[in-house]
Structure 1
Amino acid sequence: MRLMSYNIQKGYGGRDQRYNLQRTIDVIEHENPDIICLQEVDHNMNRTRFHNQPTIFKEHFGYAGYDFQWNHKIKTGGYGNLILSRFPLRVVEHVCLKLNHRKKRGAQVAVVVTPEGPLLLIGWHLGLAEKQRHAQVEHFFQQAVYQDNAQLPTIIVGDYNDWRDTLARGPFERQGFRQITKPIRKFRSFPAYLPMGALDKAFVKGKLYVNEARLVKRKLTKAASDHLPLVIDFHLKKFDEV
């Protein structure tokens, strides 16, 4: 199975700053993922021609599983996180990660009913301050929707904004997760045209077998967004069990 995590920057190019959602769609189609986790997906905003981007993605790919989470509302529009899946979703829940006066952030939680068994999937976009990110992750691990499903194979993906990679040595280590986006030098994803920071990460737990984790480095991905997309090929069973 293949998962893609991608901060699409609302469909704006990383260098030319032109709005062109077709480039984003082409990037996704080229990798043909079974599960798609997107961040910064716009809805009903002047800057993106008042497009309903969640619906555009849903109708274009036609996947069985769909969930959109508002993160930041601006009048009648805003942006957030989107999950699309070839496989059905259940136990879909949104967890607010807003702390104090900080910008609203959120985590999407879903159990994906894959052909190899249920997968606990979390997609999120964490805050800009290091202490804030640690507090957000600690807060999430205390939520009932996570604790009630923590026995499942789990993957947490998204834009972590974790420049110094301190989350791996903190809450994730205490929860028994392993980071699959390392060494850091191979996963520098931002800015896409000249990557310096490894901001797009993935942590897994349980019986989840990763064949490959990689960034998609092509001419198009360097132009379509300010982040490179992260692709993960994995199984929930060992090869001799599949």
Structure 2
Amino acid sequence: MPITVATYNIHDAVGTDGVRNVERIARAIDETGAGIVALQEVSGPGDAGTNRADDFVALARAFGGHAVEGPALQDGDRRYGNLLLSRWPVSDWLVADLAHPQREPRNAIMATVATPDGPLRVVASHFGLFHRERRAQAELIGELTAQEGEMPTVILGDFNDWLPFSPVVRLLSRSLGRHIGAVRRIPTFPSSLPLLALDRILVNDRMRLRSVRVPATPLARTASDHRPLVAEVEIAPGT
């Protein structure tokens, strides 16, 4: 049975019109039809005493199902980072620190999702801006997935890496047992006219990647500075 997954950098819910609109982001997520969604640049409520909403909570409620929060930055009441949403129950989850010295805090959510076809390991992350930082983060994720044993796996996120033969993607692909040529790149940034394939979806050899697409609807073009990246995947028979 195909499973629709998506990764989406929501840019703190600020659209190309400069307006911050969490409800618009929720509609863009719903438009993907995904059952599993990795979100980046999600914000918490901010400083105490402000009227700003907690986007982690608001987006989880709008999506329904299950959610795992992975704020990489926590400063008082302010939270900022990753959020994993799933229509199906989530278990055995952890948030791994991927911080690089003297760089912005980064992490990865790793969780097991009980899909209708069996357990699926999902890794959701947002890599750093510098090449050395991204390589180290890719290696850490490779080590984590290896430690947890073999099972169907999908890695979702903003890799901040657009090169056709990216060393970062090659590192992740090797850890997943896939050839780089099997990984399709589709530009997602900037949302108004995508030129760079910053966002990626990778699967291991216990999965099949059936299709990958980037929505081109008015909502997808305006809700954030990235467009969502959406894929149809399935767990290989006999896995």
TM-score normalised according to structure 1 size: 0.89
Q: Which AA in structure 2 matches 1:190?
A: F
Deviation at 1:177, TM superposition (A): 3.1
Give a deviation string over 1:106-153, Cα, whole Å, max 9, x none. Answer: 00000111110111100000000011100111122223xx22434101
Aligned residues between the structures: 231
Give a deviation string over 1:180-226, Cα, whole Å, max 9, x none. Answer: 652x3xx1111111212100011110221122111111111111000
In structure 1, the residue matched to 2:58 is: 56
Unmatched 5+ residue regions in structure 1?
Answer: none
* 4+ runs deviating over 4 angstroms: 178-181
Q: Report whether the alignment pairs 1:76 with 2:77.
A: yes
Deviation at 1:62, TM superposition (A): 1.8
TM-score normalised according to structure 2 size: 0.90
Q: Which AA in structure 1 matches 2:174?
A: R
In structure 2, the residue matched to 1:109 is: 110
Unmatched 5+ residue regions in structure 2?
Answer: none
Aligned equivalents of 1:224, 1:120: Cα separation in 2: 29
In structure 2, the residue matched to 1:98 is: 99
C-alpha RMSD of the superposition: 1.9
Task: Kindly report which structure 2 residues correspond to 1:122-201, keeping only aligned pairs within 5 A, or say none.
Answer: 122-143=123-144, 146-165=145-164, 166-167=166-167, 170-175=170-175, 176-178=177-179, 181-182=183-184, 184=185, 187-201=186-200
2:167 partner SS:
coil
Aligned equivalents of 2:11, 2:81: Cα separation in 1: 11
In structure 1, the residue matched to 2:218 is: 219
Q: Which AA in structure 1 matches 2:85?
A: L
Label 1:98 to 1:86 Cα distance change in 2 as closer, same or farther (>3 A): same
1:45 partner SS:
coil
- Higher deviation after alignment, 169-178 or 152-161: 169-178
1:170 partner SS:
helix
